[in-house]
Amino acid sequence: MAEAIPPSDATSASEADAKELVLRAAAVQSRLAALSQNKIDHIVERMAHTAAQHSETLARLAVEETGYGVAADKLLKNRFASETIYEFIRPMKTVGVIRRLEAQRVVEIAEPFGVVAAVIPSTNPTSTAIYKLLVAMKARCAIVLSPHPTAIHCITRTASLLDAAAREAGAPEGVINWMTAVTLEGTQALMRQPKVALILATGGMGLVRAAYSAGKPAYGVGPGNAPAYIERSANIDKAVRDIITGKTFDNGLLCSSENSVVVDYEISEAVRREFTAQGGHFLNEEDATTLAQALVTSQRLPNPDLVGRTALEIADRIGITVPDQTVVLLAPLDGVGRDYPLSIEKLCPVLSFYVVDNWREGCERCQEILRYGGMGHTMSIHSRDESIILEFGLKKAAFRIVVNTPTTLGSIGMTTGLDPSMTLGCGGYGGNITSDNISPRHLLNIKRLAYETKPLRRETVPDLESKNLTSGTAVTPLPEPPHQAATPKLDPRTVAARVETFLESRGMRPTASPVDESSNPSTVSGNAVSPTPQKTGTTSPTDLTTSESAVEFVSEEDVRVAVNASRNIIIDERTIITPAARDLANQHGVFVDLSVGRSH
């Protein structure tokens, strides 16, 4: 027997494997991105054809390796991925110009995200691998798979088959890669690699949290815990058949499979009889307790030993007796949460069973179930009352509410018009970035050429006085101030004459250059006057305070003299006052204005 690899060595090997494969994928990403739409479509076609050819072999291999599920159902899932999903993505444009919005004059151009890290679960190993490889190649993204350790052989086989088909069709070698040394630490290292551009994670909550904490764009999908509500107007026979079909499909391994049944009291007995007739077995309280203890771990997760087993296998393993025709076990419960272990997602043909008084109570019970592990994922309603169906659509915290069909098959687009997919976003309710069924569109970035359609014209620029520029809302212009008589304008010649008189009173005389009558008044007090000291016998500044008529000019010095002498200065509308003189005069109240008859 070969010696087991020490854990530390296994971790190191896995981390090194992740790094090497990402570098390999990154090295050819640009070559893949440069391929034409026709070339990409040819590569994807050959991959899908190869997957369909080997669907049965891969289905059997998955059951043999993992021990989970039903080979016939895994075959159906493999064909769904390789045929239904392929037909859905086949006409998509993912290269170059993908759409023209003529009215808006916008051209959309597709760019691949880059290297994708894809985590593959053990519950749906081969179908998920087929799906992720096809959507990645359609979007021109090189990819590195991290298989679940318990399903590494069947996932590796799937990847190698599709890789060979892609290369034969012209894909660069190295665009499809898969880890062979797999540990949890290695998977985490893969998601953190600098050259990984996007993460596609399918698995338990721990894995999904790791994906979202890796610092990369990520699409992660965790538990579903889907409730199925049977309203009193439903076709009971079909509703029960749909629920059993969904719950027993691949032994309940899809995360969107039904986990609880919620029934109106008015029809509850009829529903019980129909379940029994179609292979359901209702557990008594003692058997339900035994099942809960065996199926639900202390971490509130389903026991891997019972996951994906048939109802008969489960009953046999836990030591309870059920009829031979039993296909699903039903446990009547009164509540949801930690005190009711079987209210969790169970991943096997076990259903919790609730009875409610009416659709409003049923609505609240479904909300409780979704909050306990399935927020944003999936639920179903079986009803013929469109108003109640719409109420559930409006109020339930699930982004796939399928109507009168199995949740398992309706959610992935097998029995509904939803986009066919094996990865189902749970939106904000479930901590996901999208509520969509993931397709190649989610692996693309879109560039946009935007041509001018609304040329900016000067007359369209909002006026500051008539527009509130913060909100862009027109406002009423402010009212005009009350009419005031216009201040008389002084003639430049009058100003010049008064300045000359003042200067002469100070012993100064203007230059010989006459003041031009057309001069701007500012030039008179500026360059036109050249004060030259000249002794005269004219009035001193103190005379300004004794005159009974208004003075012609007041300077700051005049005001100081008046203040010191405790006298006033007589002014009128014709008096020229310097700004400094006015400020000082206002402080001491020395002006007497004859034009208004009051002191300043």
Active site residues: 255
CB distance 30 to 203 below 8 Å: no
CB distance 264 to 362 below 8 Å: yes
Structure-token pair, residue 109: 């151009």
Nearest to 533 by CA among 514, 509, 500: 509
What is the 3-class SS of 89-154, one letter each residue? HCCCCCCEEEEEECCCCEEEEEEECCCEEEEECCCCHHHHHHHHHHHHHHCCCCEEEEECHHHHHH
Give the 3-state secondary structure of residue 474: strand
Q: Is 229 left (phi over 0), alpha (psi -120 to 50) or beta?
A: beta
> Residue 540: phi, psi to the nearest 5?
-80, 165
To the nearest 10 degrees (0 to 180), the angle between helices 55-66 and 37-53 is: 60
* Residue indicated by tokens 């990819």: 143
Nearest to 223 by CA among 9, 385, 61, 376: 376
> Residue 312: phi, psi to the nearest 5?
-70, -40
Nearest to 562 by CA among 592, 590, 594: 590
Distance CA 392, CA 401 (A): 8
What is the 3-class SS of 399-419, one letter each residue? EEEEECCCHHHHHCCCCCCCC
Count of H helices and E strands in the chain? Answer: 20, 22
SS3 content of the chain, % helix, strand, coil (to 5): 45, 20, 40
Distance CA 13, CA 20 (A): 11
